[in-house]
Chain A
Amino acid sequence: MLLELNDVSLSLKRDGKYVKILDGISLQVKKGETVGIVGESGCGKSMTALSVMRLLPEKAKLEGVIQLDHEDITSYSKRKMEKIRGNKMAMIFQDPLTSLNPLHTVGRQIEETLILHTDLNKEQRKRRVIELLNEVGLPRADEIASEYPHQLSGGMRQRIMIAVAMACNPSLLICDEPTTALDVTVQAQILDLMNHLKDVNEMGIIMITHDLGVVAEVCDRVVVMYAGKIVEQANVKELFINPKHPYTKGLLESIPKLGVKKAKLGSIPGMVPSPDKMPKGCRFYERCSSAMEVCKGTTPPMSSVGEEHTAACWLYEEKGGEMNGSSGSEGLEATLHN
């Protein structure tokens, strides 16, 4: 297992008190696997990624265990984290224009990762930069290396970001909405590139997105998040064919399908509850079309609903309770605590 999050919670200080942003996140990423994290804005997708990278605001409280290559990195010091960031794990962000330093040439920005993590001399670093630029499919690499981000197109910039991230051959790559700011045609190119790089380098990838099209394109497994909690996990095919959680169903219904005439796309009514006013029971209760009495007061536990398919919903709890007794009592415990 490359990355393992075990019951990770994150609280941020807002207006003087701690508010829980992530609640009991557990997920795994294997080598050479792409795991998608999907959900609406504000559901905690990005915060999950930033928790792994530990790029959190100063007054953040991180609980639980994060293991990278079987090593608990939650206990790592600031210095130790700096050593693995950009080295063993790297991250790509949404908007490549604002994510690149406007005053440094792109060559220098790629080189910086090498300066920080390798012993290469200047000549070797220069060669590696050119190599990386070629790897991410940029033509006339030596010219581009001396250009500034504003001189490049959006797609080229994102390729530069990928080159920055790939500089030290990371084993884990976290992509936070890497294609959201790009044109559709460029999106496909970037996704192809990432798929290719993953296969070549045997990386594990976390792909954060709210675009289910991207998920279908590149992911092996999908984690669906809602209001700071994971509500469903499954293989990508299974999830698209056989979604279990009402929220996942709602998400899938909101994608237009070719050849299917529908008067209106499905939408999920209501709003995500705010982190400081989380309901006692299921967080999706208020918006759920199949809500029951039990959902209101008790948090549904995560239970198995198929092969490598789990969901946190009371609809499947009878069945799930047989297969996984402990998670049922966890739910009960949660009730008692509340």
Chain B
Amino acid sequence: MDALRYTVKRILLMIPILIGISILTFFISNTIPGDPARLAAGPYADAKVIEELQEKMGLNDPVYVQYFNYMKNLLQGDLGNSNYSHQPVMEDIKQYFPATLELTFFSMFITILIGIPLGVISASKKDKVADQFARVMALIGVAMPAFWLGIIFLLFFYLKLGVLPGSGRLDTGLAPPETITGMYTIDALLTGNWTVFKSAVIHLILPGITQAAVTIGMITRMTRSSMLEVLRSDYIRTAFAKGGSEKRVLYGHALRNGMMPIMTLLGMTFGHSLGGSVLVESVFSWPGLGKYAVNAITYLDFPAVMAVTILIAVLFILVNLIIDILYQVVDPRLNYD
């Protein structure tokens, strides 16, 4: 009951935050010089057409009226029309967002799968070869710019070895699976289409690893330092005194106790990956939200910019809410108040 009350309270608290974000984004994008009407009308349109378009797009209203109109439509699920793709922004988002979400989930999956065990090994073999190796790997991951790493991967695995595809979400000639979530791997699984599933996973590997390189490095280091602190605890000694093996003590006792800072970082990384996938999406021609946002900014496509910003903000807040709730699951000492 407490958990439910806490969750509801936190969700209600999201509302003022989101209003704040929407106000900020709206007013900032409105102060940017440039005329969306002119861009929408094209370079050869005459002044009269542009004036009409300005009126039609509501650009002559006071800014706060424009904002209220926007929010009114937003609450009805209408994000406006994109001035660039000439279709409702909602449709664009439905198309591009699942691709980004899929890539982010995949890279987080790799991060957790590699980063945490690597950090645990690092801590348990402190200052030994394994630890030094993990340290160097983490440093490389953090220090290499994603776009550069992506290009190197492309050159090696795609051009030279030809073992992995270099762009897109599916092999050419394969039809995407029936849209359920929009994430090809999941949709293919749900519809039982193995060929598409295999192709989708293979296409995820290079962009996924490129995206995960930085976060693996960060998670490894965070896991290591968190574990080192936990391993000094009295209850770890107790666990050994009971006759527990090193593996059992590390994964059964220490890791869960060291999980808090790791979870915090994972939450932040998730938001970061969502918003920062632009570079990776560009290198691998991944038709995702990052690329869409960059286009929207270049074409002063305000409805699209607004929508992407608000969407990422909502997700970021949601993910951190989930992490906050998970804290209480991991640590019974934390109270919901």
The 8 A CB mask of B135-151 against A (1 = contact, 0 = none) is: 00000000000000000
Which of B237, B240, B241, B245 counts the most chain A CB atoms within 10 A?
B241
Q: What is the minimal beta-carbon distance from B240 to any residue of chain A, in angstroms?
A: 6
Residues of A within 8 A of B248 (CB): 116
User: Which residue from B239, B242, B244, B331 sits with its C-beta under 8 Å from A102?
Assistant: B331
Contact in complex: A84, B243 (CB < 8 Å) = yes
Could you tell me if B238 and A93 are in contact, using CB atoms closer than 8 angstroms? yes
Is there contact, CB below 8 Å, between B253 and A99?
no
Given contacts A55-B237, A100-B235, A101-B257, contact A85 B242 (CB under 8 A): yes
With A and B bound together, what is the CA distance between A30 and B34 in angstroms?
Answer: 92
Shortest CB distance A176–B (Å) = 10
- Given A93-B238, A148-B333, check contact A103 B244 (CB 8 Å): no
Kindly provide the distance from the CB of B264 to the nearest chain A CB, expressed in whole angstroms. Answer: 17
Q: Which residues 307-337 of B sit at the A interface, judged by CB distance below 8 A? A: 330-333
**Chain A, 221-263, CB within 8 A of any chain B CB:** none
Q: Are A86 and B234 in contact, CB atoms less than 8 angstroms apart? A: no
Does A309 reach chain B (CB closer than 8 Å)? no
- Asked if A82 and B245 make an inter-chain contact with CB atoms under 8 angstroms apart, the answer reads yes
Contact A93 B234 (CB under 8 A): yes
Q: Is A287 an interface residue (CB 8 A)?
A: no
- Contact across chains for A55 and B241 when beta carbons are under 8 A apart: yes
Minimum CB distance partner of A89 in chain B: B241
Cα distance A148–B335 when bound, in Å?
13
With a cutoff of 8 Å between Cβ atoms, the chain A residues found around residue B245 in the complex are 79, 82
A83 to B332, Cβ gap below 8 A? no
Say which residue of A79, A90, A95, A104 sits within 8 Å of B241 (CB atoms).
Answer: A90
Q: What total of chain A residues lie within 8 Å of the partner, measured CB to CB?
A: 28
- A51: interface (CB < 8 Å): no
Q: Does B256 sit at the interface, judged by CB under 8 A?
A: yes
Q: Are A53 and B241 in contact (CB under 8 A)?
A: yes
- CB contacts (< 8 Å) of A84 on chain B: these are 243
Instruction: Determine how close the nearest CB of chain A comes to the CB of B310; give it in whole angstroms.
Output: 37
Contacting pair B235 A82 (CB below 8 A): no
B298 at the interface (CB under 8 A from A): no
* CA distance in complex: A32, B301 (Å): 85
Q: Chain A 49-74, CB within 8 Å of chain B: the 1/0 string? A: 00001010000000000000000000
Of residues 55 through 74 on chain B, the ones whose CB sits less than 8 Å from some CB of chain A are none
> How many residues of chain B are within 8 Å of chain A by beta carbon?
20
A83 and B331 form a contact (CB under 8 A): no
User: Nearest A residue to B246 by beta-carbon distance?
Assistant: A78
Q: For the complex, what is the distance from the CA of A82 to the CA of B234, rounded to whole Å?
A: 18
Contact between B243 and A82 (Cβ–Cβ < 8 Å)?
Answer: yes
A88 to chain B, nearest CB (A): 10
Interface residue ranges of A96-143 to B (CB < 8 Å): 98-104, 112-113, 116-117
Query: Chain A nearest CB: distance from B102 CB in Å?
Result: 33
Q: Is A91 an interface residue (CB 8 A)?
A: yes
> What A residues does B31 contact at CB under 8 A?
none
User: Which single residue of chain A is at the shortest CB-CB distance from B126?
Assistant: A58
Q: How far is the CB of A292 from chain B (nearest CB, A)?
A: 42
A116 touches B234 (CB 8 A): no
Cβ–Cβ contact A116 & B238, under 8 A: no
Contact of B330 among A86, A100, A103 (CB under 8 A): A103
Asked whether A87 is an interface residue with its Cβ less than 8 Å from the other chain, the reply is yes
A contact residues around B172 at 8 Å (CB): none
- Cα A113 to Cα B332 in complex, Å, equals 22
Q: How far is the CB of B126 from chain A (nearest CB, A)?
A: 9
Q: Which residues of B contact A87 (CB under 8 A)?
A: 243
Q: In the docked arrangement, what's the CA distance between A86 and B240, Å?
A: 9
B273 to chain A, nearest CB (A): 28
Known contacts A98-B235, A103-B257; decide if A86 and B243 are in contact (CB<8 Å): yes
Contact A101 B239 (CB under 8 A): yes
A98-B235, A103-B331 given; A91·B241 CB < 8 A? yes
B233 at the binding interface (Cβ < 8 Å): yes
B333 contacts across to A, CB distance below 8 A: 102, 148, 150
- Contact string, B7-28, partner A, CB cutoff 8 A, digits 1/0? 0000000000000000000000
In the complex with contacts A98-B235, A103-B257, A86-B242 CB distance below 8 A: yes
A164 to chain B, nearest CB (A): 7
Of all chain A residues, the one with the shortest Cβ separation from B333 is A150
CB within 8 Å of B: which A189-247 residues: none
Q: How far is the CA of A95 from the CA of B233 in the complex (A)?
A: 11
A151's nearest neighbour on chain B, judged by CB, is B332
**B331 (CB) vs chain A CBs: closest residue:** A103
* B331, A99: Cβ atoms closer than 8 Å: no
Distance in angstroms from A304 CB to nearest chain B CB is 35
Report the separation of the CA atoms of residues A86 and B256 in the bound assembly, to the nearest whole angstrom: 22
Residues of chain B lying within 8 A (CB to CB) of residue A113: 242-243
A117 touches B237 (CB 8 A): no
- For the complex, what is the distance from the CA of A83 to the CA of B240, rounded to whole Å? 11
The distance from the CB of B285 to the nearest CB of chain A, in whole angstroms, is 45
Residue ID in chain B nearest A150 by CB atoms: B333
List 30 contacting pairs A-B, 8 Å CB cutoff, sorted by A.
A53-B241, A55-B237, A55-B240, A55-B241, A79-B245, A82-B245, A85-B241, A86-B241, A86-B242, A86-B244, A87-B243, A91-B241, A95-B234, A98-B234, A99-B234, A99-B235, A99-B237, A101-B235, A101-B238, A101-B253, A102-B235, A102-B331, A103-B257, A103-B331, A112-B244, A113-B242, A117-B243, A148-B333, A150-B332, A150-B333
List the 9 closest pairs (A to B, CB-CB), nearest first: A86-B243, A86-B242, A98-B234, A85-B243, A101-B235, A99-B234, A91-B241, A99-B238, A148-B332
Please list the residues of chain B having a beta carbon within 8 angstroms of any beta carbon in chain A: 233-235, 237-245, 248, 253, 256-257, 330-333
Q: A99-B238, A101-B253, A150-B333 are known; give 13 further A-B pairs, CB within 8 A.
A: A53-B241, A55-B240, A82-B245, A83-B243, A86-B244, A99-B235, A100-B235, A102-B235, A102-B331, A104-B253, A112-B242, A117-B243, A148-B333
